[in-house]
Copies of this chain bind each other. A is one copy, B any other.
Amino acid sequence: MDQLNQVAVYKKANVYFDGKVTSRTVMLPDGSKATLGIMLPGTYTFSTDQKERMDIQAGELEYRLENGDWIKIEGEGSFDIAAHSSFEVKVVSVVDYYCTYG
């Protein structure tokens, strides 16, 4: 089982869209932040402060970056989002994701 070692986890969840998107904040050994999250079926728009990398661990979705096309991920896949921008997702089946920042 793939795991994150020697980390700190905030006990309080991050809850968005009435609980259809939730995540836990993890502080990695190098001091950087990551989140482990769940997205239930639906369409969501997120904005970014820092650059983000979304690693999809399971589930099916389509994502679209600003001025980009819809791109499908099924099962596993990753995409990078620029800082100070936004992205949309259409979640088809429960998505398990890992997001890193900066």
Contact = CB atoms under 8 A, between A and B. Distances in A.
**Copies of the protein in its oligomer:** 2
Given A7-B7, A22-B22, A96 B12 contact: yes
Interface string A18-34: 11101010110000000
Contact of A94 (B2, B3, B19, B96): B19
Q: What DSSP secondary structure best describes chain A's contact surface? A: strand
Interface residues of A, number: 29
A56 to B, nearest CB: 12
Given A1-B10, A22-B94, 7 more contacts: A2-B10, A3-B10, A4-B11, A7-B8, A9-B24, A13-B36, A15-B94
